[in-house]
């Protein structure tokens, strides 16, 4: 947006300058209100396309288990992951295919909690589709080194919903039907 992101500043005495911070927050919100609003579904698709990685959360015997993964998208916009059978998250998916992926669009912001991020809820299933694998490898050329190893498999996450936090006070649930194929 070209505006400084809101953050709390300190007076020389160490006290928070809430008035200045509130002014910056209001300036950002007022600027956002004058720009054409991108739909929540469009914001989700853009965040996913721009990110080359995500945080994958699986269930490890009922416990949340999060790990960093490289991600790509298939032709309709569903996430693709290349995982090793040796990895804990792949073992967890075999027991329970329900996953979430957090795509973080907050890099470079002074206050990351004012920036966009989206959590995708879905089910991960192994895919033998070579076109999808090719799409993944175009996005992550370094993965060509290990993609043919016997323990590596491509997974496609069938999205069910997305939870978008588009910035301060802009939170939306978006259903998969609004995200796919657009």
Between 2 and 63, the more confident residue is 63
Residue listed under structure tokens 């994958």:
56
Percentage of the chain beyond pLDDT 70 is 79
Confidence of residue 168 (pLDDT cuts 50, 70, 90): confident
Distances (CA, A) of 166 to 58, 110, 125, 154, 176: 24, 16, 28, 29, 17
Regarding whether 154 and 170 lie in a shared domain, the answer is yes
Based on the fold, state whether residues 75 and 147 are members of the same structural domain.
Answer: yes
Separation CA 124–CA 95 (nearest Å)? 11
CATH code (residue 134): 2.30.110.10
Per-residue pLDDT tens over the stretch 28-49: 555 455 566 889 999 999 999 9
Mean pLDDT of the 104-123 span: 94
Q: How many domains does the chain have?
A: 2
pLDDT of residue 36: 67
Does 93 lie in the same domain as 149? yes
Shared domain check, 132 and 92:
yes
Q: Are 95 and 9 spatial neighbours (Cβ–Cβ below 8 Å)? A: no
Residues 20 and 102 in one domain: no
Does residue 22 sit in the same domain as residue 70? no
Whole-model pTM: value is: 0.79
Distance in angstroms (rounded) separating the CA atoms of residues 79 and 76 = 9
If asked whether residues 32 and 47 sit together in one domain, one would say no
List the domain range (segments joined by +) for residue 26.
1-36
Q: Are residues 22 and 69 in the same domain?
A: no
């Amino acid at each position: 947006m070209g505006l400084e992101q809101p953050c709390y500043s300190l007076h020389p005495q160490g006290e928070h300058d809430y008035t200045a911070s509130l002014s910056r927050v209001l300036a950002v919100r007022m600027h956002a209100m004058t720009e054409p609003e991108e739909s929540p579904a469009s914001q989700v698709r853009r965040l996913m396309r721009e990110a080359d990685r995500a945080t994958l959360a699986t269930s490890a015997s009922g416990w949340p288990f999060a790990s960093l993964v490289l991600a790509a998208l298939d032709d309709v916009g569903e996430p693709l992951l290349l995982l090793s059978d040796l990895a804990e998250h792949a073992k967890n998916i075999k027991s329970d295919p329900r996953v979430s992926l957090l795509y973080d669009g907050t890099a470079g912001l002074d206050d990351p909690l004012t920036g966009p991020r989206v959590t995708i809820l879905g089910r991960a299933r192994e895919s033998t589709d070579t076109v999808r694998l090719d799409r993944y490898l175009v996005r992550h050329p370094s993965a060509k080194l290990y993609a043919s190893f016997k323990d590596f498999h491509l997974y496609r996450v069938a999205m069910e919903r997305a939870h978008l936090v588009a910035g301060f006070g802009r939170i939306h649930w978006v259903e998969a039907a609004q995200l796919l194929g657009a």
